[in-house]
Amino acid sequence: MLEMIPLETALDLLLKKSNCCSTEAVELSAAYRRVLAEEIVAATNQPPFNRSPLDGYALQGADLAGASHESPARLRVTETLQAGYVAKGKVEAGTAIRIMTGAPVPDGADTIIRFEDTREENGWVEVYVELAPGSNIANAGEDIRQGELLLKPGSLLESPQIGVLAALGVPNVPVYKRPRVAILSTGDELIEIDQELRPGKIRNSNLYTLAASVRESGGEPILLGTCPDVLQITAEKISAGLNRADLVVTTGGASVGDYDLVQKAMKQVGAGILFWKIAMKPGTPVVAAEAGEKLLLGLSGNPAAALISFEVLVRPLIKKMAGFAEYLRPRVTVKLMDGFRKKSSQKRFLRATVKLVNGEPCAYLAGAQNPGVLKSLLYTNALLEVPGNRAPLMAGEMIEAIITGHLC
């Protein structure tokens, strides 16, 4: 029998054996939440020209020396310039061009005065304030400098990144392909979610939980459905998963029960077992195998155990395959507000809600911690990591939390 291994060792081993997917180009409008595969260096300045940041007059600042309400500067208005056009003429001493926000600063002008400090009549504008030459000019490159490294490979493309790519004129974006992750739920007790409950049966929730988690991790779920605890069928489904996906994840049948057949099924499809059982709770029964370049992971069928082992073991793997530069969740030291007395020789993850109380992150246990209880995950935005063989946890202690959701 293979030995139980520490989570860190298991994760290290799997990460070493996984690689980024290949790349493809997608249209910018389809790039939301994709992972950038190349550096983005600004090919142009943004803005590309010196422009007016407000509606007003372009002029020479020196003409405003000594201007006030009592003795305004008087300048001749030579033209009106709308955003999107270039001035026909130049600004010379004693003249001004009426200019709108976003229009290029005309030649000869070094200052923009806002409408609110002026009054125009019969082709002349009176300016009531002084302004230092150079005021109110948004310089070319004020936002982005040509040649600047803006985005690194492995960055997630969200609204600001997409905006920057649009501003720089990148209509097709190089991204990593999403890893395809086949998900199979095993268990004779499982029925489909649209079926009536019958004695002894439960609905297959893991398939949907994990499919959502695969998406959140940047992967593309392939739902292989439900399969009974029958070796031949399990092996066939796993084999189908290997044909269609980059990674195969199963739930159920990974423990020591008479009908726990996933490990056998993995061997039957020719996969080599890497490890079986991780020293953690919930989620001890994890079987990992490899078939060629592809990994297979069999998780516990208990809904919370399946999701938590996915979170700490499979998510980082999918993120790495998806090309993310960062694939681990942030960790924060939090104050535990409730005690937890149960001792364990294995590392334990406790479901908790972390809230900021007077600016301090405080963790409240999210309810029942049993591996078969799914509901407490509804109230979980953090997993508290309790090392093995640790004394019972007391309220008020500081503990490390993996932040898995939004802070309340």
Alpha-carbon distance of 377 to 382, in angstroms, equals: 9
Alpha-carbon distance of 371 to 386, in angstroms, equals: 16
Contacts of residue 29, Cβ cutoff 8 Å, sequence gap at least 6:
none
Q: Rounded to 5 degrees, what are φ and ψ at 54?
A: -155, 170
First CA to last CA distance, the chain: 44
Hey, is 121 helix, strand or coil? strand
Closest distance between ligand AMP and the C-beta of residue 309, in Å? 11
Among Mg ion, ligand AMP, none, residue 303 binds (CB under 5-8 Å by kind): ligand AMP
Q: Among residues 41 and 202, whose Cβ is nearest to ligand AMP?
A: 202
Number of residues that bind ligand AMP (CB under 6 A): 20
Q: Among residues 177 and 281, whose Cβ is nearest to ligand AMP?
A: 281
Instruction: For the segment 176-195, give every residue that binds Mg ion (CB under 5 A).
Output: 187
Counting contacts by CB under 6 A, is residue 206 touching ligand AMP?
yes
Closest distance between Mg ion and the C-beta of residue 301, in Å? 5
Counting contacts by CB under 5 A, is residue 298 touching Mg ion?
no
Alpha-carbon distance of 328 to 307, in angstroms, equals: 16
Hey, is 197 helix, strand or coil? coil
Which string of x and - marks every residue 361-380 that binds ligand AMP (by CB under 6 A)?
-----------x--------
Q: Among residues 279 and 306, whose Cβ is nearest to ligand AMP?
A: 306
* CA proximity to 261, closest of 238, 221, 288, 234: 234
Largest CA distance in the chain: 98
Binds Mg ion (CB under 5 A): choice among 141, 179, 218, 252: 252
Instruction: For the segment 256-285, give every residue that binds ligand AMP (CB under 6 A).
Output: 257
Per this entry, what is the length of the chain?
A: 408
Counting contacts by CB under 5 A, is residue 371 touching Mg ion?
no
Which residues make up the interface to Mg ion (CB under 5 A)? 187, 252-253
Which residues make up the interface to ligand AMP (CB under 6 A)? 185, 187, 189-190, 202, 204-207, 251-255, 257, 300-303, 372
